[in-house]
Each structure stands twice: as structure tokens, then as C-alpha cells.
Amino acid sequence: MRSNVDLVLRRARPGDRSQVAGLLSRAHWRHFHLDWRDPLDVLSQEPNLLAYHGDRLVAHFASPPDPDRTAWIRSFCVDASQAPLAVWRPLWAEAAAACLALQVGRVASLLSGEWMRPLLIEAGFRKSNAVIFFEWRGSAPDLPPSTLGQVRPLRQTDLPAVAGVDERAFAPLWRNSLESLSAAMSQAIVATGVEADGRLVAYQLTTASPFGAHLARLAVDPAFQRKGLATGLVVDLIHHLGRRGFDSVTLNTQADNLRSQDLYRGLGFRETGQRYPVFETALSVPEGTALSVPEGTALSVPEGHPGGDRASSRPRTPEGHPGGDPEDGVPQGTALSVPEGTSPASEAG
């Protein structure tokens, strides 16, 4: 593998879709966030960067905030001709500055493969959590008696209320924007909610793929948790899926969300062993340091070149920086094996 730091960076544009699609399909090193939005559909959202070696597109990096002030690394893909760390350094330096200009204070990433670990560690990311997967198979549990509200299908007009429940139910890092939830609902094969006191207080969105059915999102308004609403939604979902010929359903939740895990185990879900560590870093501007990508400032593109400014800034490796937990990683070269339309969070109540 050839390492080369002579790269030209520029911001991605919607018109780059075909070129970026080609890179994403051929890239040797690929990281994608788990949710419902295709990296190609957010090329206009910053930070979204391309790296060129000569005239060849060799890397794509995207970490646009969603919702505001919170960002996940959604895409980092590198051509086989490049060493990931050499490409990561200039891209992360520009992306971090762009995030700061957008007032993003924290960036997170799933560990999609062991090749990502040294990159994240050098950049100051620390392991903070993990996404763990569960699967249900077997006989559908009995429907619980309804004590508060009735399960009903969701409508597009419910989206603002769905986003409100999501915001109240999840910590900032795990929330989804209205746009992401709209994408999720458009892909859902079953989307249901519960009303109480005249308003939506709980919902679930389930998608399907060649892997089967996947409970992609479940949330209950904190004021209505511990009232059996999550149980009712999940059991109703299992019955609905059974009528459609599904004999299993998967889901995921955070490793530290013990309440959700207790709920799922109580309904017969079992851990699959699939787990993706979560790494986070807090962004800050050292005193007297100017942002390398001021808000509203475009990276210049040399005339006649598909790329742009040569990256000059390089983050330093913190002295004595600890590594991660090796038992939580994914073997190098292992692709994420998750249902399409997966979101790394579920909140029960």
C-alpha cells in the first residue's frame, strides 16, 4: 500500500454525486454510519470533503451535524492506493474546523473496523459506549391489555410530533432530526404510535431488508414511560410482522441503556453478539487559534483542477494517548453486517 500525503482537498457538491458514488463502491477502506440517509444524499451538507491525488478522487469524508450541534462521522472512504491515516489527518483537520464553525461541540463515530481505531485515537476520540444488537424469534407474546392510549398507524402529518418525542426521549447524541425521521418513515414497513391526552407520546419505526425486519426506532415520551407503552408497541409490531410472514425481528440499543435491554429480554429478545463501539471527542478551539475553515468560507479550487487547496494543517498525536478495548472491535476488513435502514439507538419506556 502506498502512503501519500500530497493531497488536494475541496468541499463536495451535489454535482459530485456520480464521482463520489464510484469511490464509495470501489473504496478499499469504508466506514458508513448506521441510519437511513445515504451519504450521496447529503453532499450539500457541511462538512463534506473530497480528497484528490492528482486527478483521482481518493477519499470522501462527511460529518454534517444532525440534528444541529451534534455530528457523527457518516462516511470515510479511502481508495486502495492510499494509507487511511495519511488521508484521515488532513480531512479530519478540515472537518473538525468546519464543525466548530457550525458550533458543533461533539463528534462521534461507530468503530466500523479495526482499521478505524488508530485514526480515532490519534484524533482524540475516546470509547464512550457501544451499540448492541438483539433478535427475537419464536412465538409472538400475548398482546398486553391497553391501559393508556391505543396503537395506531403513523401518518406523515405526525412527523413533527414524532420528532418532538424523539428529542425528549434521547440524549443529544442519539437524537434524530426531522429530516432523518422523515427518511426513516418513508422506508418503514410498519410505523405505529400511541396517543394519550390528545397527543402522540410514543412511536416505533420498523424497516425491512434482505436480512429481515428491523425495529429501527422506538421512543416513549419521558412523561409517559414505565406505563407499558413500549411493550405494547413492540408486541403489536411482532403480531403485525407475523401476519406478514416475518418470523424474526432485530433491533439495537446502547450498551448503557439497561432499561431498554431489560424490556427486550423480557419479551424474548436475545443478544446476537454483534456490537459496535462508539467513540466520541469534544471539539474546542485553542486560545488564539483561528479556524481553518471559517463559516461561510469556501475551500478554493485551483482552476482546471477537480480538487482544491492543499491541506497544510496536521493534528498532533497526544502524548501517552491510550488505546481502546480490543475485545470490542471488529476484525480489520470486516464489513458492517446490519440491516439497511438501521439507526444506532432505541429508547424504551
Number of domains present in the structure of the chain: 2
Local confidence pLDDT in tens for the 349 residues of the chain: 333 458 999 999 999 999 999 999 999 999 999 888 899 999 999 999 999 999 999 999 999 999 888 999 999 999 999 999 999 999 999 999 999 999 999 999 999 999 999 999 999 999 999 999 999 998 888 877 666 788 999 999 999 999 999 999 999 999 999 999 999 999 999 999 999 989 999 999 999 988 899 999 999 999 999 999 999 999 999 999 999 999 999 999 999 999 999 999 999 999 999 999 999 999 986 555 444 443 333 343 443 444 433 333 333 323 222 223 323 333 333 333 344 445 555 666 6
40 is in which domain, residue-wise? 8-130+277-317
Q: Is 318 helix (H, G, I), strand (E, B) or coil?
A: coil
Residue pair 114/329 in contact (Cβ under 8 Å)? The answer is yes
265 and 145 share one domain:
yes
Query: Do you know the residue count of the chain?
Result: 349
**What whole-number distance in Å separates Cα of residue 348 and Cα of residue 336?**
25
> Which candidate, 268, 229, 269, 235, places its Cα nearest to that of 252?
269
* Structure confidence by residue, pLDDT tens digits, 311-331: 333 333 232 222 233 233 333
Measured CA angle at 268 (ends 263, 274), to 5 deg: 85
36 and 58 share one domain:
yes
pTM for the predicted model, two decimal places: 0.81
Q: How far is CA 22 from the centre of its chain?
A: 22
CATH number, domain containing residue 309 = 3.40.630.30
Domain presence at residue 327: no
CA-CA-CA-CA torsion sign (8, 10, 12, 13): negative
| HEC readout, 277-301 | EEEEEECCCCCCCCCCCCCCCCCCC
**What whole-number distance in Å separates Cα of residue 67 and Cα of residue 92?**
20
Domain presence at residue 343: no
